[in-house]
Each structure stands twice: as structure tokens, then as C-alpha cells.
A and B are shown apart, each in its own frame.
Chain A
Amino acid sequence: MNGNDFGEKPLDLGCLDPAPGDEFERVADSLVARILAERARRPSWLGILVSYARWGAAFAMGAAVLILALSLMGHETGSVDIPAADRLLSWAQEEHDPSVSEILELGAYPEEEHDAW
């Protein structure tokens, strides 16, 4: 320690000492014991991580099984909606263009498409 900063002597602040003499060891020992006890009680990051990883794996597995089951059920019972042959436009089955009467007969064109014409 440089006691002659700007040519000045240091102030004697020994009376403010937090733990004079042997008291320091006692205070330090109790503080260290408290710290170590608190650290021992604290759950480790690794433990928390492993716990979260376990739960995450369980949920992922459950979700995968559910999706697989649903997809299998859909495959067995589900069917693609194929339009029946009688619902096709009559003129679409032939090689000629639709006549006006056929077009008017359908009447299924949306309004906006009429306007577009």
C-alpha cells in the first residue's frame, strides 16, 4: 500500500474494523459454512436440466404415439371424396364445346364470373 499519496499519510480507520483479531476467523468460518450449506441445498442446474429433459422426452413420445394412432385410424376409415360419374357435366364427357342451352341449364356459375363475362 502506498501510504504517501500526494504526500499524505493514511487516515487511521482501524476502529471501523469489522472483525478485529481472532473474531475474523470465527466470522469467516461461519460465513463459509453458511455458504456451503446454502449451495448444498440449492438444486443443481444439471439436475434441473435432466428433470426437464425427462418430461420433454415423455411428452414428445406421447405426442408421437397419438399422431401415429390418429393417422392409422384415418387410413383405415377415411376415403377420398371422388365425384360420381353422374355428377360430371354432360358435355364434359364429349368432344364438343358446350352449347348455350347447356351452359344456361347448369346455372351453377358464380355471380361474379357472369359479371366478368
Chain B
Amino acid sequence: MHNGWPGCGTIRVERSRVRDVLTPIETEKLVRQALAGDAGSFGKLVRAHYRAAYCTALSVVRSREDALDVVQEAMTDAFVDLESCRDPSRFSGWLLAVVRNRAMAYARSSARRRRRSEPEREDAPASAQTGDVLLRERLLAAAEALPPRQAEVLFLHDLEGWTHSEIAQALGTSEVNSRQLLFDARRKMRARLEAVDGKDGSFPGKEEPHERK
């Protein structure tokens, strides 16, 4: 099943157009230039890795806003201390590891905060949420079924558009394993989405109920 929810397809085309694709050799060269003090190289590296870092953070914290916070903090720390990246040829994997660790720490601390403030917390009324937000939450709720590794591969591949080769190199795994993780993640996501859609009878974020065939 391919979900035909509105708005998603257009964003995807737009995103792949602006994505700054760097080969590993280019990445290594940029890292060395950045270490030498070239400010322009920082900009290119940040643009090339921002979305991937977001995918990694999202696979752990499972909230767009939290993932954006984590990415801001983790990327700032990583780039400020760029000298600690010992092997510039493995920069992408190093950066994603920094983001992943930060996201895990964030998830732990936010879980503690949530437990403490649970009685006072009030959810925003459903009517105040826009269709996009509901749609996003539906996707993230479906992604809850995925282990972080599967979610990371799914987001990097289907959201950011990384190849299995890139994913395997960054995550320190094999391409075959990356494919398997993606396959499992998609299967689980589709099952969850179908279950939710079947329950509600409509897609979120639409003015009118979506008729399924």
C-alpha cells in the first residue's frame, strides 16, 4: 500500500531538489578544510547532514520538535569540537553517532520529566491541531512499533533519500542488513497504518473522509 495522503509527495520532490549530496571523498575534503578554518566548508557540511541528523534524532525521540532541538544541540557540539573526529573519511557516521547519543540522553531526561509532570500535563485539544500535525503524529505513532535501528534506516532511506551504501557506511553495517532493516520497517509501518486507517475509516488531515478501495 502506498499512502496517498495530501501534501507529502510535493514536499518530497522539493526536498530531493535542495538536498546537497556529497560523496565520501568530498565530505572528507570538506572536513579537512573546515578543520583548517574554512567557514564555507562548515556551511556545506551542515547542509549535507542536517536532514540525516534529524532522521537519526527522530528515530530515537519520535517527536519532530524534540528531534529538531536535539539536532541543533548535537550538531553545534559536534562541529564546535570537530577536532575530535579522528577519521574525517568517516565523518557522517561519527556525526550520526554524536546525534544518536544526544538523542538518547534527551529521551531519558524527557521521560523523567514527563513522569514527574504527568498529573499537570494537559494535551492540546484535537481541534487546535492542523491536518499536517495530525498526519505527522499518525506516522510517528505508527513508527513507535519500530526499534530505533529500523526507524533510523527507514527515515534515512525514505525521508532523506540515502542509498543503502550510504546508510551502511554511516551506521557501520552491511548493505544487506540495511535492506533487511528497511524491509522490516516498511512492513511494520504499513501494517500499523492499515490497522489505524481501518479503525478510523479515514485518513487524517483531510477535509473529507478518504474513500479507500
Contacts and interface: CB of A to CB of B under 8 A. Distances in A.
Are A and B genuine complex partners? Answer: yes
Interface of A: 1-2, 5-6, 8-21, 24-25, 27-29, 31-32, 34-36, 38-39, 42, 45
Given A14-B15, A20-B11, A35-B75, 13 more contacts: A1-B162, A2-B164, A8-B186, A10-B158, A11-B3, A12-B12, A15-B7, A17-B51, A24-B18, A29-B43, A31-B46, A35-B76, A36-B42
Given A11-B3, A31-B50, A6 B183 contact: yes
A5 B68 CA distance: 29
Q: How large is the interface on B (under 10, 10 to 19, 20 to 34, 35 or more residues)?
A: 35 or more
Given A5-B183, A31-B72, A17 B50 contact: no
A14 B39 CA distance: 31
Interface of B: 2-3, 5, 7-12, 14-15, 18, 39, 42-43, 46-47, 50-51, 54, 58, 64, 67-68, 71-72, 75-76, 79-80, 83, 132, 135-136, 139-140, 154-155, 157-159, 161-164, 179, 182-183, 186, 189-190
Contacts of B47: 24, 28
A29 B44 CA distance: 10
Contacts of A27: 50
A2 B135 contact: no
Contact of A12 (B5, B76, B80, B83): B5
B80 A39 contact: yes
Contacts, number: 116
B204 to A, nearest CB: 10
- Judged by DSSP, the binding face of A is helix
B164 A18 contact: no
A10 B14 contact: no
B50 A18 contact: yes
Q: Which 4 A-B pairs have the closest CB atoms?
A: A14-B11, A14-B8, A14-B12, A18-B54
